Amino acid sequence: MSDIGLRGQVTACRVVSIRGKVVLHQIESYPCTACHITSKHITVLIRNPSPFQGAKDQKRKEFIAGLIKGWAVGPFLASMDEFSRHTICENCGRKTIEG
């Protein structure tokens, strides 16, 4: 979450569980691209499905892929590649999905 300070003011941050998955939930204030009003936006990080889902030796393949990505780009960027960012405007209700 390298762009928290660049996009707007973070007013709350907590961990919640959605459908058995632990996700990071936070509220930011910045101008909405749809309604053009500075309002609160709820941001949730959701883990993307594994590319090795259902494969034989899934855990081993995920470990090796994570190890290589961690060496190549660093552990922070390698772990952020596994998440998509869902943002919902509290004013107009528009949902955007990044990454």
Query: What is the residue-wise DSSP string for 33-79?
Result: TTT--EEEEEEEEEEPPPTTTT-TTHHHHHHHHHHHHHHHH-HHHHH
Residue 6 confidence (pLDDT) above 70 = no
* Range with lowest mean pLDDT among 57-61, 78-82, 90-94: 78-82
pTM passes above 0.75? no
User: Percentage of the chain with pLDDT > 90?
Assistant: 4
Q: What is the mean pLDDT of residues 5-25?
A: 50
pLDDT tens readout for residues 41-55: 888 888 888 888 888
